[in-house]
Structures are given as C-alpha cells and as structure tokens.
C-alpha cells in the first residue's frame, strides 16, 4: 500500500506542473478565454485530487478563547488507543494534580483513524505569524495550531456528519471523566472586571465523603442514589417533556446532621463540580442571573442556610412581633436577626429573582444541573420557594439513628460489630 507521504509527494508534483501550465496559459491566452480555462482547470484539479480537507483552528475569532472543538479533538486523539499507537512523536501533559500523564500528538505529526471501515488522516499543524510591533494590552499568541482532517470525497456525508459528531462527543465525554473536579465560590461583582477577572474562583474539590461513609439509613441512601442516577441518565426524557435538565433538592434538619457532607457525597457520586453560591455578596437579580450563566453543566449549585441568606420567607412580616419577643430570650434568634439586618444592607436579590434563578428561562442554560438548598428551619421558608417542581426532592437530615450510628463507629473506630450493638 502506498504510504500517505508518498501520495502527497506525487500529488504535489502534479499540482506544481498544473500551476506552471496555468502561468503560461495566463500569460499568452486572451483575457476573454481565461475564465473558461480557469473553470475547467479547477475541475481537473478536483478530479486528480479526490480528497477533502477540513481545518479546526485552536482559537475562535475571540483571540484568547480556545475552541471547544479543538480541545475535544485533542482529547479524542489522545485517548483513542488505536489512533495513539500509530503516532511516533508525542507531547506529555500532567493532569489531575500531577497524578497522571496524558500523551498528545506533537506538532506536524500525522495519524490515521478508521470509522465504519473508512480511513481518515489527522495532522496537527502550526502557523507562526509574522511579528508586528503594534501595542496591545493582551498578549498575542505566537503560534496558532490547528487540526487538519483529510478524507476521500466519496465519504463526505459520513465524515462531515456521523464521524465528526462521534469525535466531538467522545472527546467531551473523556474530558468530563478525566477532569479535576472543582469547588467554586462567587466573587463580589466589584472584582468582575479587568483582564483575567472571573465571576467564580475555584479550588480543587477533594472532599472524601461518599454514600458509604454517610451516617444515614441504608434504604434512604439507596433511594437518593437511585434518584441521582436516574436524573443523570434522563437527558432525552427532559428534552421530550420540554423541561430544563435540572433537579432541585432541599436538605433540611438541625445543625450538624450532615447536610454539607450530603452535598459532597452527591458530587462524588455523580462526578459533578460544586458551585457554592453566597447570596449575600450578590447585589441584585441581574448579577444572580449572570452568575447562573457562568456555571457549567454537570454541576451542583448549592445555597447553604437559605433561611439566613436573604429575606425570602414571605411569612416573617406576619410573625414579626412574635419574633421580636422571642429574640430577647433566644440567643440563636437574636444572632439570626443581626445577620438579617447586615444582609439587607448589601443585597437586593428578591424572592422573585431567586425563583427565576431556579426555574426561569435562564435556568435552562447549560443543562444537567442540580440545585441544592440547605436549611435548619424549613418551616420559615416561603412555600413558593420549596414547592414541588422547584425542590423536586426533600431530604430530612435528622439526628443519628442506630443504623447511622454503626456507620459512624465503623468510620471513626473501625468497629463493624460490638457486643453493645445487640443490647
């Protein structure tokens, strides 16, 4: 079989000869006839060169934004064993907090891939533009890389349709499986502007909590895991019924019963990122919507202690006099009242804005999200906030039962059975 390099050399000679003939004809043929000659020469070139090339640049028109398509192709070629074994030069990248190495194609390296019996060729190319001396606040990329896909024109429909979609889907799925999950927190809006400024800051999420180590009845844990798994596999269902691919969870119960640990266990079970949304730093509903748009899919958006974050109860005006009386004797309520006063000075997020955040039109951006509210006092929340359809599943985090206590004994003392358990 003729090697790809030899084929390129042969085709290059043919094209060079045609270009020479073209220059001679253009010099001596009348201008009126040149249009016809050029038209048929293009047809001849297409007949001699039966391949189609598609280029995927690394950066989009926005100069500093990396193309998601380029990243997906890079991941696909790096993870595909049948493709990787055909390459001879690689670049090594460290991922997952220096715990593993991923090999990717080196510049100008060519590999082949097969899809439904059709062979295609991938090449990683690089353009180095001429330097200019114009001033810019943003650093210009000296090298602009691109992937070039070459295939026979008889397979145009298969490659431009099914194959490219297959490459992008596999690349994105691999990225999700291998990514270092993150725990995000929202930045104050005064820090949103400027180069490299972001609305969310993050750290690597490495919380060890799992459902196996969660102190809760086994039946209840299995029910939650089943619900989470069903949600993560229901993309077509949500599309069919015309709803955003999201689900709301309300975790309620006394302080210290494991609500935050439950969120960590959910994230580890689904392999999702976590966005810890601090409402008191959000100035208004517009900022809240902007933060939502900036979150990614496959994530859990958490608002902890929702009853203390904003005045969203709708019932406190009716109970104001009673609360004032209890405040004098109850230190917890007194502290809560002080937090509410300080909060109201800085944030203008309304109940209506939060409801739109949960299930308004903008909530459909991104897809595959779980929204979790935690609270110590579920009876204080406005019914509109926690109704069915917004908070699809309510989980009571109560004090430790005997079955849950045995989980704690195993976790902390490595005791699976003790004579006191049968007493």
Q: Residues 319-345: pLDDT tens digits?
A: 445 555 555 566 666 666 665 555 555
pLDDT given at position 59? 80
Q: What is the mean pLDDT of residues 130-134?
A: 54
pLDDT given at position 127? 74
Query: Sorting pLDDT into bands at 50, 70 and 90, what band is 318?
Result: very low
Q: How many CB atoms lie within 10 A of CB 172?
A: 16
pLDDT given at position 177? 77
pLDDT given at position 332? 63
pLDDT tops 50 at residue 316: no
Q: How many CB atoms lie within 10 A of CB 8?
A: 14
pLDDT given at position 209? 92
pLDDT given at position 157? 92
pLDDT given at position 43? 64
Query: Sorting pLDDT into bands at 50, 70 and 90, what band is 381?
Result: confident
pLDDT given at position 325? 55
Query: Sorting pLDDT into bands at 50, 70 and 90, what band is 227?
Result: very high
pLDDT given at position 94? 55
More confident residue, 257 or 346: 257
Radius of gyration (C-alpha) of the chain in whole angstroms:
30
pLDDT given at position 315? 45
The pTM for the full model equals 0.66
Query: Sorting pLDDT into bands at 50, 70 and 90, what band is 1?
Result: very low
More confident residue, 386 or 45: 386
pLDDT given at position 32? 60
**Which CATH code of 2.40.50.140, 3.40.50.300, 3.90.1170.50, 3.40.50.970 fits the domain covering 182-413?**
3.40.50.300
Query: Sorting pLDDT into bands at 50, 70 and 90, what band is 104?
Result: low
Query: Sorting pLDDT into bands at 50, 70 and 90, what band is 261?
Result: very high
Q: How far apart are CA 351 and CA 363, in angstroms?
A: 15
**What tens digit of pLDDT does each residue of 34-78 get?**
666 666 666 666 666 788 889 998 887 655 567 888 888 888 888
**What tens digit of pLDDT does each residue of 164-196 get?**
999 999 988 888 777 788 999 998 888 787 666
Share of the chain above pLDDT 70, in %: 67
pLDDT tops 50 at residue 95: yes
Compute the mean pLDDT over every residue in the chain, rounded to the nearest whole number. 78
Query: Sorting pLDDT into bands at 50, 70 and 90, what band is 222?
Result: very high
Main-chain phi, psi angles of 372, to 5 degrees: -120, 125
pLDDT given at position 176? 77
pLDDT given at position 51? 86
pLDDT tops 50 at residue 317: no
Domain ranges of the chain: 50-127+141-178, 182-413
Share of the chain above pLDDT 90, in %: 23
**What tens digit of pLDDT does each residue of 392-414 get?**
899 999 888 888 888 888 888 88
pLDDT tops 80 at residue 252: yes
Q: How far apart are CA 48 and CA 153, in angstroms?
A: 12
């Amino acid at each position: 079989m003729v090697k790809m390099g030899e084929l390129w050399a042969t085709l290059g000679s043919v094209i060079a000869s045609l270009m020479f003939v073209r220059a001679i004809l253009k010099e001596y043929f009348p201008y009126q006839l040149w249009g016809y000659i050029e038209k048929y020469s293009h047809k001849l070139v297409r007949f001699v060169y039966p391949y189609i090339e598609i280029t995927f640049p690394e950066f989009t028109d926005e100069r500093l934004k990396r193309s998601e398509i380029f990243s997906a192709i890079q991941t696909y070629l790096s993870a595909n064993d049948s493709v990787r074994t055909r390459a001879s030069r690689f670049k090594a990248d460290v991922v997952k907090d220096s715990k593993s190495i991923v090999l990717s194609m080196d510049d100008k390296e060519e590999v082949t891939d097969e899809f439904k019996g059709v062979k295609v060729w991938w090449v990683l190319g690089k353009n180095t533009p001429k330097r200019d001396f114009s001033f810019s606040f943003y650093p210009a990329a000296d090298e602009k890389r691109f992937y070039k896909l070459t295939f026979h024109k008889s397979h145009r429909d298969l490659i431009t349709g099914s194959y490219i979609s297959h490459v992008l889907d596999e690349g994105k799925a691999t990225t999700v499986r291998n990514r270092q999950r993150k725990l995000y927190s929202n930045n104050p809006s005064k820090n949103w502007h400027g180069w490299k400024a972001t609305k969310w800051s993050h750290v690597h999420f490495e919380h060890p909590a799992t459902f196996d180590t969660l102190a809760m009845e086994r039946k209840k844990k299995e029910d939650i895991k089943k619900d989470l798994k069903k949600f993560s596999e229901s993309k077509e269902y949500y599309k069919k019924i015309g709803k955003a691919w999201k689900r709301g969870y309300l975790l309620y119960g006394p302080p210290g019963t494991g609500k935050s640990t439950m969120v960590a266990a959910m994230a580890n079970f689904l392999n999702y990122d976590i966005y810890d949304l601090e409402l008191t730093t959000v100035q208004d509903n517009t900022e809240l919507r902007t933060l939502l748009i900036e979150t990614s899919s496959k994530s859990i958006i958490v608002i902890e202690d929702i009853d203390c974050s904003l005045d969203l109860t709708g019932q406190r005006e009716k109970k104001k006099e009673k609360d004032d009386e209890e405040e004098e004797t109850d230190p917890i309520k007194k502290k809560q009242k002080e937090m509410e006063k300080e909060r109201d000075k800085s944030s203008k997020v309304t109940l209506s804005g939060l409801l739109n955040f949960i299930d308004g039109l903008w909530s459909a951006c991104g897809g595959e999200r779980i929204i979790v509210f935690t609270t110590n006092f579920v009876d204080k929340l406005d019914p509109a906030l926690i109704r069915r359809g917004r908070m699809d599943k309510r989980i009571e985090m109560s004090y430790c039962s005997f079955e849950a206590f045995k989980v704690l004994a195993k976790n902390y003392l490595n005791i699976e059975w003790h004579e006191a358990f049968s007493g």
